[in-house]
Amino acid sequence: MKLQSPFRDGAQGSKIIVTTRDTDVSKMMGAATLVHNLEPMAVCLQVFEQHAFLNSNDDNPPNYKLVKEKIAAHCRGLPLAARTLGGVLLRKDTYEWEEILNNKLWSLSNEHDILSVLRLTYFYLLSHLKRCFAYCSILPNDYEFEEKQMILLWMVEGFILPLRR
């Protein structure tokens, strides 16, 4: 009921899109007749490709399609994982992808856990970005901050430099 309450006072004819991996949540929200199930792996592969191939080139190795599908499968249908990993692989040549596919960090989590993907993407981050990411660990859980506020904190710590104009 608490989840529904903010949506009860919308203008007549307003629509709300609820995205969830749990069909019980969509039923609870009253969307039982208008549920659209997406194929998680297809969506995951699409999100992955959008972020990994922004500057696609034609000198991909012959097995790159198989490698990309295996990497997307490691994301287990989670769009956040696909986007994050795709962003990391964007900076890598496709021949390096197999090294990432065979990385032992994949085996550190269970099959429904996003942590292995996030741990792997952290491992491949550039060192100055790792400091920014690690800085967030000193903040309390559920701490809300604005993007500009975080950037200013990183600048004060010397993690990033202001843009020169």
Q: pLDDT digits over 115-150, tens only?
A: 777 777 777 777 777 888 888 888 888 888 888 998
Residue 138 neighbours by CB under 8 Å, 6+ apart = none
CB atoms within 10 A of CB 73: 14
Tell me the average pLDDT across 41-58: 74
38: confidence class by pLDDT, cuts 50, 70, 90:
low
63 versus 51: the higher-pLDDT residue is: 51
Confidence (pLDDT) at 89: 80
Mean pLDDT of the chain: 75
Band the pLDDT of 12: cuts 50, 70, 90: confident
Q: Does 15 have pLDDT greater than 60?
A: yes
